[in-house]
Amino acid sequence: MKPVNILKNLAISTVLTAALLASNSIVLAADLKAKSVVLVHGAFADGSSWNKVTPLLKEAGLDVIAVQNPLNSLEGDVAFTKRAIQRADGPVVLVGHSWGGMVITEAGDGDKVKSLVYVAAYAPDIGQSLGEAAQLEAHPAPGLAALKEDKDGYLYLTDDAAANYFAQDLSKEEAALIAANQGLLNSKALGEKVTKAAWKSKPTFYAIAGNDNMTPTKLQREFAKKLGATTKETPSSHVIMISNPEVVADLIIEAAK
């Protein structure tokens, strides 16, 4: 075959493949009741913790906003998240990881939020702080016991704690990057209580991390049962959205439907 014909056939094949992918995305998007997803990171993290999930959601036809919360207080993180919800286009799926579960519980009560997705996250009841929701006596968490506190009262993970408790199923390089980029949580936030529980009136979903040393797996299962949530469980560390992004993305897409 002549080189010109080969190039022509390759071009046609590329166009057809792109058209097929686009048509599949259009079909999937037509099934979605939500338009946007707002992703809320947890403590010792930032918005980049959703970098593997975001492309999967966009491919499904969803707009995505990953909030960059300051982690100074529950009230402040809720305010940041509500601004992201206001900016989002159309009905919203609100997603929270770990500490982010506290945030979405309080911030997700508005009409624009159509469903909630908890990802290895705390799901407090009205009037509960994270410390109360964690039930540490019944659910000891080695990762929380390994936290350090700086002179200003901000909690952080050492490199060893990140590798052994927070992200033990990631490579050493990935765990080291998480430790370097982490957002420190003001210890005062642990005592702040939620005043609303959006899960009481919204369809709720829960991604359970089966080998979690930060938010113990047993506690996550209890949260999911209390919420009456649709669940997916996979054997992963606390950072399930990094080690198993497809599982998390699939659950968010299910919530969007």
Look at 23 and 257; give whichever has higher pLDDT.
Answer: 257
Question: What is the rounded radius of gyration, in angstroms, for the C-alpha atoms of the chain?
Answer: 20
Instruction: Tally the domains of the chain.
Output: 2
Flag whether pLDDT at 4 surpasses 70: no
Q: Are residues 41 and 156 in the same domain?
A: yes
> 6-20, 38-52, 77-91, 127-141: lowest mean pLDDT where?
6-20
The residues pairing with 170 across neighbouring beta strands, listed in sequence order, are none
> 27-41, 67-81, 167-181: lowest mean pLDDT where?
27-41
Flag whether pLDDT at 166 surpasses 50: yes
Q: Are residues 39 and 99 in the same domain?
A: yes
Q: Are residues 154 and 199 in the same domain?
A: yes
**Where in the sequence is the domain holding 106, given as residue range(s)?**
32-256
Q: Are residues 16 and 136 in the same domain?
A: no
Q: Are residues 42 and 25 in the same domain?
A: no
Q: Are residues 11 and 40 in the same domain?
A: no
Q: Are residues 60 and 86 in the same domain?
A: yes
Q: Are residues 251 and 193 in the same domain?
A: yes
The string of pLDDT tens digits covering residues 116-147 is: 999 999 999 999 999 999 999 999 999 999 99
Q: Are residues 244 and 174 in the same domain?
A: yes
- Please check whether residue 53 is in contact with residue 252, taking contact to mean a CB–CB distance below 8 angstroms: yes
Q: Are residues 154 and 144 in the same domain?
A: yes
Confidence of residue 24 (pLDDT cuts 50, 70, 90): very low
Position 52 scores a pLDDT of 98
Q: What is the separation of C-alpha 14 from the centre of its chain, rounded to a whole number of angstroms?
A: 34
* DSSP label of 190: G
Q: Are residues 77 and 144 in the same domain?
A: yes
Nearest partner of 46 among 139, 180, 176, judged by Cα: 180
Q: Are residues 114 and 166 in the same domain?
A: yes
The residues pairing with 159 across neighbouring beta strands, listed in sequence order, are none
* Phi, psi angles (nearest 5°) of residue 206: -140, 120
